[in-house]
Each structure stands twice: as C-alpha cells, then as structure tokens.
C-alpha cells in the first residue's frame, strides 16, 4: 500500500521541455468515483494495464493500491 499525497506546482516557462522524455500513450477510465474512494483503469502504450484504488476523504492524502491487470491487444 502506498500513501498518495496530492501536490501541485506552477511551472514557469518552457525550460523543462529540454529534459522531458518521449512519454507514454495513456488511456484511462474511472470505474468508480465517490467523495471518499475511486477506482481507475489505465492502459499504457496498449501494452499493459493497471487498476488503481484510492480510499480516504482527505483530498491531500489518501491510501492508494495499484495492481497490474491482464492486457492483450487481440483475441486468441
């Protein structure tokens, strides 16, 4: 189990772009959204998937559980 701590930062200028990597194509969907819990599925580069469960009513800090889930790009 991890503890999610929400933080936000204001980025000034475009200097950060030189250090950025290529990135990952991400598709996501929320299965559940409530004030004290959420469930989300993310697919990364159409190659693997992960489900994330978050619990806790405090917007700044919540319990977070992540699990890899089976993913395939075509039927066998």
Catalytic residue among 27, 28, 30, 33: 30
**Six-digit token string for 65:** 């559980």
Question: Is 30 considered catalytic here?
Answer: yes
Query: Is the sign of the CA dihedral 23, 27, 33, 39 positive or negative?
Result: negative
Report, as residue numbers or ranges, the catalytic residues.
30
């Amino acid at each position: 189990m991890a503890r999610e701590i929400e933080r936000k930062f204001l980025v000034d200028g475009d200097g950060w772009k030189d250090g950025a990597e290529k990135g990952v194509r991400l598709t996501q969907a929320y299965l559940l959204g409530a004030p004290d819990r959420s469930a989300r599925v993310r697919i990364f580069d159409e190659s693997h998937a992960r489900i994330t469960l978050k619990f806790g009513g405090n917007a700044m800090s919540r319990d977070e559980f992540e699990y890899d889930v089976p993913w395939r790009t075509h039927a066998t």
